[in-house]
Amino acid sequence: MSAVDRLFEELRTRGQKAFIPFITAGDPDLDFTSTLLKALVRQGSHLCEVGIPYSDPIADGPVIQESYTRALSAGVALSDILEMLRQTTPELAAPVVTMVSHAIIYRQGLRKYVETAKQCGVAGLIVPDLPVEESGALREICQEEDLSLIQLVTPNTPRDRALRIVAASSGFIYYVSVVGITGERKQLPEFLHENVGWLREQTDLPICIGFGISSPEQIRLLAPIADGLIVGSAIVRRMAHDGEQSGSTVLQDVEEYVKTLIEATAGC
C-alpha cells in the first residue's frame, strides 16, 4: 500500500475529500518551492502535486507552460528538484506526487527514476503523456516500489479505453474535467457529473477531478462526486508576479487563496 493509498483510506474513513494543490518546481526557485510546500500542507492540503518543468508539456495551458519556462530559464535541473524533495518531504504531513513527462523518466531509465523518486520521498507519479498501452513496464516497477502510478481519464476517452486506464492505475484516477488544456474556467461542463458517476461504477479507486477548478463555489459543486479536487493554474498564476512583490507577499497571497479552497473542501 502506497502513501497515497493510505491517505485516501484515512479520508474515506473520516468522510473527507482531499484538497490537492499543484505547483511548479523551481518557480521562481527551489527554495521557494520547498517553503511553499510546507505552507500548503500547513494550511491543510492533503496531497501536493509538483510539476517537473518540461519544454514541451502535453496538456498544460499558458499559465503552467510559462511557469515551466521560467523555471527552465533559471536553470532548474531534475536532480536539484529531487534533492529538494528529499530534504522537504520528511517535514510534510502529506504525500507528494510528481507530474512528470514520460520523456524525462525514459531518459533517466524507468527503474532509476522510480527508485530515486522513492528515495526522495515521492509517493506517486502522474505521467500525462504515457499511453496505457505502453504503461506496463513502468507500472510493474511502481508496484514493486509501492509508488502510485496515477493516470488520466478525459471527457474524450472512449469508455472501453477508460476501463483499460482504470485497470492500469493505482493511487487514484485523475479525471480531467474539461476538453482541452489546463487553465481556470468560469463554468465546468454539464456532462461532468454523468461521466464521473459512470467512472465511479467501474472502480474502487478514488477519483480526483482537476483542470479548470479555481473557486470555492466550484469545489462545493464537485465535492459530492469526487474524492479529491486538484487546483493548479489558479495557484501557479499567483507566482507570476512582476518582480515588485516580495516572496513573503506572494506566499501570503497563495496561502490566503488556498485557505478559502480548503475551507470549501472541508465543508462538503
Under 8 Å between Cβ of 97 and 171: yes
Catalytic residues: 49, 60
Distance between CA atoms of 1 and 5, rounded to whole angstroms?
6
Under 8 Å between Cβ of 125 and 98: yes
Other Cβ atoms within 10 Å of 76 Cβ, number:
23
The torsion angles phi and psi of 98, rounded to 5 degrees, stand at -110, 140
Distance between CA atoms of 121 and 92, rounded to whole angstroms?
10
Q: What is the DSSP letter of 223?
A: G
Distance between CA atoms of 155 and 178, rounded to whole angstroms?
7
